[in-house]
């Protein structure tokens, strides 16, 4: 009797060695950072001239706030907005009083990037819940700081007075020498420019068509990078390492703030720092409570660009750069030390994320409402 052939057993794939996963993770992070630069380039192509025109004719602090938000959304960089404001103040084109709300608005506008990055998880329910909450808790902190400090500043001029006092203690270098450029930002910026030149010079696309193609390409790269970063991080981060990371960052808030500050100074972009946290939060590797102080440190780190720009902008430019630094520092001091207050942005973000899971329309309403409609209304009503 002939023996029946045995059914072939499915061959299990051997897991990739850890070192291969680490290399893949580094490459995916590089792809992700390049996508962020491309996205910024696309928005700059769309909105550079419009953003420049926004700063003209400001004569109301609420208009200045709206301009700061919208300009930062257009160029995808609070550093660019702040450096521009510093230069305009240094040149006498904008008064310090009207520039203060602008740099506050830049803080709000910059958080749109990590909110957009969280959309890469939208097809996976629980991942998106965590990622969207992780992105928007940064927004809610910035909004809380704004609600408290803007009225205080308008009533007392506290930040401006403090910045002017600090300016008298510091010397400026009129030559602007010694300014620091992040090698990471320079490297990916150069690659991004080559891609942009290929789109414009080789493909012959210009204006909205070029910007649209770059934006689509950047979004595809972000989605792909996030999908595989999340998978690799889940396998690399054992439960013990996970707990240790959350314990260090969650229980040692000052250390986490310092880490966020150093990371942002290194890459010269708070958007990159906060966006890098999103896949970790989405994968469940990092809790919201542990990631929150890192985002606060990112807010502090991004002020360094304005301070460097002030080296060539004179005392007035240095004053507005210091206002930006003081705004973020005072915001942290007001919110972070008290646990009940510290949990407010996190709970608001979780509540919004829960609504977004039930109805995706909340995502569009939130992003368009906060980062487009609100500043446009402010400009129309107050400019």
pLDDT by residue (tens digit) across 94-145? 778 888 888 888 888 887 877 888 887 888 888 889 999 998 998 899 899 9
- Residue 124 belongs to a domain: yes
- Average pLDDT of span 284-305: 85
- What's the rounded Cα separation, in Å, for the pair 69 and 73? 6
- What's the rounded Cα separation, in Å, for the pair 81 and 144? 21
The tokens for 69 are: 């938000």
- Residue 14 belongs to a domain: no
Residue 130 belongs to domain spanning: 20-382
Q: What is the gyration radius of the CA atoms in the chain, in angstroms?
A: 22
pLDDT by residue (tens digit) across 171-209? 544 444 444 455 766 788 788 889 989 988 888 887 778
pLDDT by residue (tens digit) across 39-53? 667 766 655 555 556
Residue listed under structure tokens 């990916």: 188
- Residue 13 belongs to a domain: no
Burial class from Cβ neighbours inside 10 Å (0-12, 13-18, 19+) for residue 138 reads: buried
- Residue 305 belongs to a domain: yes
More confidently predicted of 250 and 227: 227
In a 13 Å sphere around the CA of 83, the CA atoms on its Cβ side amount to: 16
| DSSP track, 316-373 | HHHHHHHHHHHHHHHHHHHHSSSHHHHHHHHHHHHHHHHHHHH-THHHHHHHHIIIII
More confidently predicted of 2 and 318: 318
**What is the number of structural domains in the chain?**
1
Average pLDDT, the chain: 78
- In this prediction, residue 268 carries a pLDDT of 62
- Residue 4 belongs to a domain: no
pLDDT category of residue 70 using cuts at 50, 70 and 90: confident
- In this prediction, residue 175 carries a pLDDT of 43
- Average pLDDT of span 12-41: 76
| DSSP track, 213-259 | HHHHHHHHHHHHHHHHHHHHHHHHS-HHHHHHHHHHHHH-HHHHHHH
- In this prediction, residue 360 carries a pLDDT of 83
- In this prediction, residue 133 carries a pLDDT of 92
- Residue 49 belongs to a domain: yes
pLDDT by residue (tens digit) across 143-174? 999 999 999 988 898 898 998 898 888 754 44
- Average pLDDT of span 243-257: 67
- In this prediction, residue 376 carries a pLDDT of 84
Per cent of the chain over pLDDT 70 is 75
More confidently predicted of 6 and 317: 317
- In this prediction, residue 185 carries a pLDDT of 67
- What's the rounded Cα separation, in Å, for the pair 139 and 119? 15
Find how far residue 146's CA is from the centre of its chain.
17
- In this prediction, residue 25 carries a pLDDT of 81
pLDDT by residue (tens digit) across 345-374? 999 999 999 999 988 888 888 888 888 888
- In this prediction, residue 66 carries a pLDDT of 86
pLDDT category of residue 262 using cuts at 50, 70 and 90: confident
- Residue 116 belongs to a domain: yes
- In this prediction, residue 307 carries a pLDDT of 78
- Average pLDDT of span 207-212: 80
Q: Which segment, 8-12, 114-118, 222-226, 342-346, is predicted with the most confidence on average?
A: 342-346
- Average pLDDT of span 241-265: 71
């Amino acid at each position: 009797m002939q023996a029946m052939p045995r059914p072939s057993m499915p061959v299990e794939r051997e897991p990739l060695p850890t070192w291969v996963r680490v290399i893949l993770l580094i490459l995916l992070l590089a792809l992700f950072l390049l996508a962020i630069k491309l996205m910024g380039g696309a928005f700059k192509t769309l909105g550079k001239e419009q953003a420049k025109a926004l700063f003209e004719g400001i004569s109301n602090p609420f208009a200045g706030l709206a301009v700061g938000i919208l300009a930062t959304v257009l160029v995808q960089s609070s550093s660019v907005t702040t450096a521009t404001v510093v230069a305009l103040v240094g040149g006498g084109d904008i008064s310090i009083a009207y520039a203060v709300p602008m740099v506050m608005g830049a803080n709000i506008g910059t958080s749109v990037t990590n909110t957009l990055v969280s959309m890469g998880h939208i097809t996976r329910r629980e991942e998106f819940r965590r990622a969207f909450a992780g992105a928007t808790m940064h927004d809610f902190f910035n909004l809380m700081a704004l609600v408290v400090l803007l009225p205080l500043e308008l009533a007392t001029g506290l930040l401006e007075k403090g910045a002017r006092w600090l300016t008298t203690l510091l010397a400026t270098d009129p030559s602007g020498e010694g300014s620091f450029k992040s090698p990471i930002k320079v490297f990916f910026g150069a690659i991004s420019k080559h891609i942009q030149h290929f789109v414009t010079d080789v493909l012959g696309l210009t204006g909205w068509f070029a910007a649209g193609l770059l934006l689509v390409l950047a979004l595809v790269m972000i989605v792909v990078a996030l999908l595989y970063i999340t998978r690799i991080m889940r396998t690399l981060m054992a439960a013990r390492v996970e707990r240790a990371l959350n314990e260090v960052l969650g229980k040692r808030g000052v250390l986490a703030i310092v880490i966020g500050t150093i990371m942002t100074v290194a890459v010269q972009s708070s958007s990159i720092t906060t966006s890098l946290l999103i896949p970790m939060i989405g994968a469940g590797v990092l809790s919201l409570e542990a990631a929150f102080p890192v985002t606060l440190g990112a807010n502090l780190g991004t002020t360094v660009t304005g301070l460097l720009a002030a080296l060539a902008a004179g005392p007035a430019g240095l004053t507005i750069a210091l206002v930006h630094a003081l705004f973020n520092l005072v915001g942290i001091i007001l919110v972070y030390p008290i646990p009940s207050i510290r949990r407010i942005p996190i709970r608001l973000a979780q509540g919004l994320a829960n609504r977004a899971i039930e109805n995706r329309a909340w995502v569009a309403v939130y992003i368009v409402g906060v980062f487009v409609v609100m500043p446009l209304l402010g400009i129309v009503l107050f400019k």
